[in-house]
């Protein structure tokens, strides 16, 4: 069979849309670690919760025009509130504990949130309809691209710009960067570090919830869907550098494209390329592509 060069464009767009979902997830993961030094294995559960909330909201507003757009605003906000409650009641009690205890707690949260989701929505697969404005296709090089793919890419880029503005151009962002490097000094200056951590965790879970809403029209929503995405998200932060938001973006772009084009080589084993790259990064650049190494003072 002759190779069709136009298929590269298809994989490029597919890889970019996948990369933007991974960036939304990985940016939340790396933000929490960068500021709070907490490895949050439960992050995928907030992604799942965002998807289920999108389903419920769109179902309740099925007779109302723009139900998906309302879900896009409301569902991540609800997830963010849940994240704030989790941080305030559980996580802030273990900030000074070793990472193993943090991992055990956040891993236990996965099962708790999965069971709560099962109680509320049952075990049936759920679907969210693609909004009418984004349900068409764009013809290019003889192939049809779903308009929704470009919407996902646009959301990811908009969030990247928003995070850049927040971290670099606002007083709050400067405070976050200061807390990431010298949290004791920030505390000594009279700032409420506990409240700051709560806000950071709420922002991170908002990003996870947003990713869940955005991906919902393209997949079947199910219990445990957060486990698959969290594995890929950790691969992204390993590649880009844990604690570095721009590393999360770079890692997501590399991971998305590597998976998309890996399918062309070994369709059933495309994930193997991601694990192979992560292994190489761990061996030769343990801090990640944009992470600070110990020798650099990170």
Q: Tens digit of pLDDT per residue, the chain (298 long)? A: 445 666 777 788 889 999 999 999 999 999 998 888 888 999 999 999 999 999 999 999 887 778 999 999 999 999 999 999 999 999 888 877 787 888 899 999 999 999 999 999 999 999 999 998 898 888 866 778 889 999 999 999 999 999 999 988 888 888 887 877 777 777 777 778 888 889 999 999 999 999 999 999 999 999 989 988 999 999 999 999 887 889 999 999 999 999 888 887 777 778 888 899 999 999 999 889 987 754 444 4
In a domain, 138, yes or no: yes
Residue 46 near residue 83, CB atoms below 8 Å: yes
Phi, psi at 276, each rounded to 5°: -65, -45
Place of tokens 């994240």: 83
Which domain, by its residues, includes 214? Answer: 21-224
pLDDT of residue 209: 97
In a domain, 195, yes or no: yes
The enclosing H or E element of 68 equals helix 67-89
In a domain, 163, yes or no: yes
Residue 153 near residue 257, CB atoms below 8 Å: no
Region for residue 102 given its phi and psi (left: phi exceeds 0; alpha: psi -120 to 50; beta: otherwise): alpha
Distance CA 159, CA 164 (A): 8
pLDDT of residue 59: 93
3-state secondary structure of 224: coil
Distance CA 245, CA 251 (A): 10
In a domain, 180, yes or no: yes
Instruction: Kindly give, in sequence order, each residue whose CB lies less than 8 Å from that of residue 290, ignoring residues fewer than 6 positions away.
Output: 240, 241, 244, 246, 247, 250
Question: Cα 82 to chain center, whole Å?
Answer: 16
In a domain, 230, yes or no: no
Identify which of 84, 69, 107 has the alpha carbon closest to the alpha carbon of residue 226.
Answer: 107
For the chain, the domain total comes to 1
pLDDT of residue 4: 62
pLDDT of residue 95: 79
Q: How close are the terminal C-alpha atoms of the chain, in Å?
A: 51
Residue 296 burial (10 A CB sphere; 0-12, 13-18, 19+): exposed
Identify which of 206, 196, 170, 193 has the alpha carbon closest to the alpha carbon of residue 81.
Answer: 206
Distance CA 25, CA 213 (A): 12
pLDDT of residue 3: 53
Place of tokens 């891993």: 107
Region for residue 162 given its phi and psi (left: phi exceeds 0; alpha: psi -120 to 50; beta: otherwise): alpha
Phi, psi at 146, each rounded to 5°: -60, 130
In a domain, 108, yes or no: yes
Q: Looking at the whole model, is its pTM more than 0.75?
A: yes
Q: Can you name the residues that pair with 140 across neighbouring β-strands?
A: 143
Identify which of 179, 167, 152, 156 has the alpha carbon closest to the alpha carbon of residue 245.
Answer: 167
Identify which of 241, 182, 217, 205 has the alpha carbon closest to the alpha carbon of residue 109.
Answer: 205
In a domain, 29, yes or no: yes
In a domain, 229, yes or no: no
């Amino acid at each position: 069979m002759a190779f069709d060069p136009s298929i590269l464009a298809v994989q490029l767009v597919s890889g970019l849309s996948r990369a933007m979902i991974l960036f939304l997830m990985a940016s939340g993961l790396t933000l929490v670690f960068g500021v709070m030094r907490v490895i949050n294995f439960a992050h995928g559960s907030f992604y799942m919760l965002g998807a289920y909330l999108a389903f419920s909201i769109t179902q309740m507003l099925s007779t109302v025009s723009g139900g998906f757009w309302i879900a896009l605003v409301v569902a991540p906000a609800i997830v963010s509130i849940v994240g704030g409650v989790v941080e305030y009641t559980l996580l802030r009690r273990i900030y000074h504990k070793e990472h193993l205890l943090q991992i055990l707690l956040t891993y236990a949260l996965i099962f708790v949130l999965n069971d709560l989701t099962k109680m509320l929505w049952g075990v049936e697969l759920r679907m969210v309809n693609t909004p009418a404005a984004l349900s068409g296709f764009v013809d290019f090089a003889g192939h049809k691209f779903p308009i929704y793919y470009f919407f996902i890419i646009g959301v990811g880029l908009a969030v990247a710009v928003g995070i850049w503005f927040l971290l670099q151009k606002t007083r709050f962002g400067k405070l976050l960067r200061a807390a990431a490097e010298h949290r004791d000094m920030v505390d000594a200056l009279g700032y409420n570090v506990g409240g700051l951590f709560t806000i950071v965790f709420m922002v991170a879970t908002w990003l996870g919830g947003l990713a869940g809403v955005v991906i919902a029209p393209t997949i079947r929503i199910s219990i445990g869907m957060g486990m698959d995405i969290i594995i890929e998200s950790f691969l992204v932060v390993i590649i880009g550098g844990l604690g570095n938001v721009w590393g999360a973006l770079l890692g997501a772009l590399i991971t998305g494209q590597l998976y998309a084009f890996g399918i062309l080589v070994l369709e059933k084993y495309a994930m193997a390329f991601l694990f192979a790259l992560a292994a190489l990064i761990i061996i030769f650049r343990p801090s990640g592509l944009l992470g600070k190494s110990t020798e650099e003072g990170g």
